[in-house]
Amino acid sequence: MTDLFSPITAGPFDLPHRVVMAPMTRNRAEEGNAPHSLNAKYYKQRSDAALIITEATQVCPEGMGYPGTPGIHSDAQIDGWRAVTDAVHETGGRIILQLWHVGRISHPDLQPGGTEPVAPSAIQPAGEAMTLSGMKPFVTPRALETAELPALVETYRTAAKNADMAGFDGVEVHGANGYLLDQFTRDSTNKRDDVYGGSVENRCRLPLEITDAVVDVWGADRVGYRISPFQPYNDISDSDPEATFCYLTTELAKRNLVYLHMVEMGGNEETGDFLSGRNKLFAKLRDLWPNTLITNGGYDRAKADAVIGGGLADMVSFGAPYLANPDLAERLHSGAAYNEPDRATFYGGSAKGYTDYPFLGD
Ligand code: PHB
């Protein structure tokens, strides 16, 4: 029976098990939003993951939506990430960079020149942005002009090249959680009347053009894509998630990407849990996806074995448990107890709650 500890080959990666470190925002980049030695230590500590997927990393200054998140658009950031990838590789790990643009989930305080954030359409999200001077209501974003979109695709292409220079093993296109590409994909946030809005084909156009540019740089077998079809986070929804995500998944499958990374959040409540197969859309997307499917959402060992054993997913990514347990794969394997994550140190700060969680045997 295949389980969480069955080896797996995903594209060029021969992996000893199926435990993935999920991308997690930690807001601990330094001057110029560049990673530094503490970030290298944090990722190196977690290199027993089959794959580490980094925290979301902005592809350009306009793509930033929170203080202290790292970028991949400057020389200092490339150098900082190089130290991270070297550290992970020293211990035999593999690390994928998540390419991010927040779109409207930002604030003029975080934008170059203090201008409005950009989005597919000028629709203000409900909620508040995290700025350097506290939480502030989101503003109405500026709708991107059609003529600006080719340059945005090139921005992702450049970021993908930078990720290669920084020594990553691959990249994940962040298409989830209400950020820019999800804002284009789903119809509550995309009211455009050009070829990038309206039909599902049009709404998926920019995400797919960006994916194609990233694949040009890396080859499809080192590019993954993250979706969150059920996720309401960041004030987003879709009137027909099945049509939207079946189309997107089919198109991504044609491109033969190495993996699809699914965020389950929001799906259990509305449409039945994933393990039982009662979530019909999850099962459909599985059927449409021929390559590795990584799923995410509150898993423990037993649930991970069940979802993999049942063929619904091939790998499972863990967020908070990885944050608090640098040797999570070993603990999942041996059944050892977990360190509890401390929410107060999730976002920002220094080594406390970041690199000081004990290993087994400490
Ligand atoms: C966050 O910083 O809150 C965040 C970032 C990226 C995600 C989800 C949440 O995909």
- Nearest ligand 1 atom to alpha carbon 177: 10
| 179 part of the active site | yes
Query: Which pLDDT does position 35 carry in this prediction?
Result: 98
Q: Which of 307, 308, 299 is nearest to 8 (CA)?
A: 308
- Nearest ligand 1 atom to alpha carbon 228: 10
Q: Is the CB of 244 under 6 A from ligand 1?
A: no
- What is the tens place of the pLDDT at every residue in 45-63? 999 999 999 999 999 999 9
Domain boundaries, the chain: 8-345
DSSP annotation string for 126-164:
SSEEEETTEEEE--PPEEPPGGGHHHHHHHHHHHHHHHH
- Nearest ligand 1 atom to alpha carbon 66: 2
Q: Indicate the pTM of the whole model.
A: 0.98
The average pLDDT across 161-184 equals 99
Q: Is the CB of 345 under 6 A from ligand 1?
A: no
Q: Which fold has domain 8-345?
A: TIM Barrel (3.20.20)
- What is the tens place of the pLDDT at every residue in 260-280? 999 998 887 666 777 777 788
Q: At what angle do helices 205-218 and 149-165 cross, to 10 degrees?
A: 30
- What is the tens place of the pLDDT at every residue in 196-238? 999 999 999 999 999 999 999 999 999 999 999 999 999 999 9
**Confidence at 24, pLDDT banded by 50, 70, 90:** very high
Decide: 329 and 336 in contact? Cβ < 8 Å: no
Mean pLDDT of the chain: 97
Query: Which pLDDT does position 41 carry in this prediction?
Result: 98
Report the separation in Å between the CA atom of 100 and the middle of ligand 1, taken as the mean of its atom positions: 10
Catalytic residue among 42, 43, 156, 179: 179
- What is the tens place of the pLDDT at every residue in 278-304? 788 999 999 999 999 999 999 999 999
